[in-house]
Amino acid sequence: MGMIGQGALAAALAVVLAVPAFAQEGDVAAGEKVFKKCAACHSLDPDGKAKVGPDLYGVVGRTTGTTEGFKYSDDMVKAGEEGHVWTPEEISTFLEAPKKMFPKTKMTFAGLKKPEERADVIAYIESVSNGD
């Protein structure tokens, strides 16, 4: 492979690596329905009021275990101290199997097994948090 071929390969690889792993876009309206499964324990309150679980307003981009007024499990606090941030990808992984990601999480919910439900609820949470 000549110089031009290697450069084209490197450029193509850079584009592929720049694409986020969480490529599925969610449906906000469908996510609002899915969030009903979450609403018993979580609010989406701009004032940050926790229920049984922490408030999820603005969770995307938040450092793990840092919502004021909520006592997180030690593993969530440790993850945040180590720099873990709730990206859409990380939220999706957590929602699929919470105890697999954080074995000592206080969240008793078994998880959302369908990727489209996870994408939808994340889209809904982002839309409420961003005022869309």
- Scanning 2-132, the segments in alpha helix (DSSP H) are 3-18, 28-35, 74-81, 88-96, 98-101, 115-129
Residue with tokens 């922490």: 54
Domain ranges of the chain: 22-129
Q: Of 14 and 122, which is predicted with more confidence?
A: 122
Mean pLDDT of 15-29: 61
Task: Provide the pLDDT for residue 2.
Answer: 45
Q: Answer for the pair 61, 114: CB distance below 8 angstroms, yes or no.
A: no
Query: Can you read off the two tokens belonging to residue 99?
Result: 């105890």
Give CATH superfamily name and number for 22-129.
Answer: Cytochrome c-like domain (1.10.760.10)
- pLDDT one-digit tens code per residue, 45-91: 998 789 999 999 999 999 999 998 899 999 999 999 999 999 999 99
